[in-house]
Amino acid sequence: MSIEQVLARHPGRSRDHLIPLLQELQQELGFLSRPAIRQVAEHLGLPASKVWGVATFYNQFRFQPRGRFPVVVCRGTACHVKGSAAVLAALQHELKIEPGATTRDGLFSLEVVACIGACGLAPVIAVGDDYHAGVTPQQVGRILADCRRRAAEDAPTKAAVEEALA
Amino acid sequence: MLRRTPRRKPRSRRRWHERAITQARDCGLLGADILGSGRRLEVKIKQGAGAFVCGEETALIHSIEGQRGMPRPRPPYPVTRGLFGRPTVINNVETMANLPGLFRMGPEAFAALGTAGSKGTKVFALSGQISRTGLVEVAMGEPLRRIVEEIGGGVPEGHVFKAVQIGGPSGGCLPGPQLDIPVDYESLKTVGAMVGSGGLVVMDERACMVDVARYFMDFIQREGCGKCIPCREGTRQLLAILDSLGRGRRREEPAGALERFQGLISLERLARVIQDSSLCGLGQSARNPVLSTLRWFRAEYEAHAYDRRCPAKVCPELLLYEIEEDLCNGCTVCARKCPAEAIVGSRKSPHHIIAEKCRGCGSCLTACPSGAIKVS
């Protein structure tokens, strides 16, 4: 769905449409691009700076594309007490990126959230739609290797590429 | 052990809420003419966008209006001037969740539960270093000890209870001797904690209270909206003081020790100034995690500031790692794992850690197959 189509779903021009619009755009695009911000501003008749100000205030909004496997680390209190800082450090070490960034190959992005909402299963990380409970720093390597293997399985084989080219 | 727990994504959860509204409308419980009574009620869901401060009512109003979620001074209170400038009633979802029970049981039966000042029941999210985790609903006024020891099964075997953190980031930490306190709004306030979000995080001897305070202050500092100066700058200072307590000598400025001592002395006063002068509840309660840990675990703060050690062995820069020569067989695993290249020694002879280079990350401790690494 294009930016225009999402905007068309909100014919109203009042300011209270701003956050739902940004949420729906992020849902469709995966992140809020500069053109998206500019078009939202035009649609609602607001300066782009105001839209940018609102978007950057809230934790939900991202301004860079996510990786194919978005890794979300819960840094809630229960997870902290159960060692989520070590899990995050292990992830940073393995992926060699800071929270908020995406790896160069586009496979992984790393995010930190205030609470995933599963405190009883702490420490929790989410990789895409898969939730891993009671994660230890030692398990991190295996979880990531699993994702890499899945990505490799989906990747077109050399034969398939040659066939497509032929 | 790796467990996968199926959980709904927020998107589908939202659809689920909307389905409930559609069903209520189809049954005639919502809409223009509810059950033919001539009364009108519409329910609309507005999804939040992730900001802790939006728990404050005026910030929440701004968020719904499509603005940055920043609080404004009250009065005027939302009941006179709220959402879109109209009188507004704001209730927590948990408050609304009490209504069905209240109607079903009748007000007398509902009020019979709980204490004089806090009626009914309360749901707590029990988590942390405890045998049984999950959501528990208890009558108000139940002693904290019953929730932790009976319902939660106490701390895991072989560990000692140290503290329970209650009420979320604005709440406080309570030590073992305070566990007999009844859980209600008034009693918790007297010991520097609050019911708040209903979070109960149990900690055993492996948790460092300075680290916990630092963790909460980091959270509050990041989640503060930045509008009022006492909260914005004050929490930054509180965090800087707590950071200095956990900073090892290697990274300390020449006058670092002086700043550390000064910081510990001014911590309480600073926390009180922030409480007195902040605009909203976020800043006013920002002192709770610091003052409650300082009140009940002062010795631990002093060990950090004066003795430069972390009794719970959590703060990495204050730990001293050593290799016991008798136990080390010179396998070189630790030397290869060390990110600071602080471990020296040749193959098959005992290794040695250079204290000045050690960052205290603990990689060697987890790597050593013969348990030769000692931490103090």
What is the extent of the structural domain holding A89? Answer: 69-154
Q: Is the pLDDT of residue B6 over 70?
A: no
A101 and A41, same structural domain? Answer: no
What is the extent of the structural domain holding B368? Answer: 320-375
B301 and B217, same structural domain? Answer: yes
d(CA B367, CA B349): 17
Task: Determine contact: A132 vs chain B, CB below 8 A.
Answer: yes
pLDDT for position B356: 83
Q: Is the pLDDT of residue B1 over 50?
A: no
CB contact under 8 A, B5 and A118: yes
A137 and A91, same structural domain? Answer: yes
Q: Say which amino acid occupies B83.
A: L
Q: Is the pLDDT of residue A157 over 80?
A: no
Task: Determine contact: A146 vs chain B, CB below 8 A.
Answer: no
Say which CATH number the domain at B223 has. Answer: 1.20.1440.230
* A145 within some domain: yes
B142 and B57, same structural domain? Answer: no
Residue from the list A119, A130, A139 with its beta carbon closest to the beta carbon of B125:
A119
> B254 vs A102, which has greater pLDDT?
A102
pLDDT for position B357: 84
The arithmetic mean of pLDDT across residues B304-312, rounded, is: 93
A125 and A104, same structural domain? Answer: yes
pLDDT for position A165: 77
Percent of chain B surpassing pLDDT 90: 65
Whose tokens are 């009574």? That residue is: B37
Say which CATH number the domain at B335 has. Answer: 3.30.70.20
Q: How confident is the model at residue B365 (pLDDT cuts 50, 70, 90)?
A: confident
Kindly list the residues from chain A whose CB atom is less than 8 angstroms away from the CB atom of residue B282.
none
Say which CATH number the domain at A143 has. Answer: 3.40.30.10
Q: How confident is the model at residue B52 (pLDDT cuts 50, 70, 90)?
A: very high
Domain count for chain B: 4
Q: What is the pLDDT of residues A90-139, one digit of tens each?
A: 999 899 999 989 999 999 999 999 888 888 898 999 999 899 999 998 89
Q: What is the pLDDT of residues B191-246, one digit of tens each?
A: 888 888 889 999 999 999 999 999 999 999 999 999 999 999 999 999 999 999 99
Task: Determine contact: B124 vs chain A, CB below 8 A.
Answer: no
Is residue A13 within 8 Å of A7, Cβ to Cβ? no
pLDDT for position B366: 82
Q: Mark which of B250, B279, B305 sits at the end of a domain.
A: B305
A145 and A81, same structural domain? Answer: yes
d(CA B279, CA B274): 9
CB contact under 8 A, A58 and B69: yes
Kindly list the residues from chain A whose CB atom is less than 8 angstroms away from the CB atom of residue B66.
14-19, 54
B269 and B213, same structural domain? Answer: yes
* A159 within some domain: no
Q: Say which amino acid occupies A119.
A: C
Which phi and psi (to 5°) does residue A151 adopt? -65, -40
A97 and A45, same structural domain? Answer: no
* B134 within some domain: yes
CB contact under 8 A, B134 and A23: no
Question: Which residue stretches of B118-255 are H helix?
Answer: 144-145, 185-190, 209-223, 229-245
Domain count for chain A: 2
B 155-184: CB under 8 A from A: 165, 168-169
B224 and B164, same structural domain? Answer: no
CB contact under 8 A, B201 and A15: no
Q: How confident is the model at residue B12 (pLDDT cuts 50, 70, 90)?
A: low
CB contact under 8 A, B3 and A80: no
* B340 within some domain: yes
A74 and A50, same structural domain? Answer: no
B291 and B217, same structural domain? Answer: yes
A82 and A16, same structural domain? Answer: no
Distance from CA of B130 to the nearest CA of A (A): 9
pLDDT for position B261: 93
The interface predicted TM-score (ipTM) is 0.88
Question: Which residue stretches of chain B are H helix?
Answer: 10-26, 57-64, 93-105, 107-112, 144-145, 185-190, 209-223, 229-245, 256-277, 281-284, 287-296, 298-302, 333-337, 363-367
Q: How confident is the model at residue B13 (pLDDT cuts 50, 70, 90)?
A: low
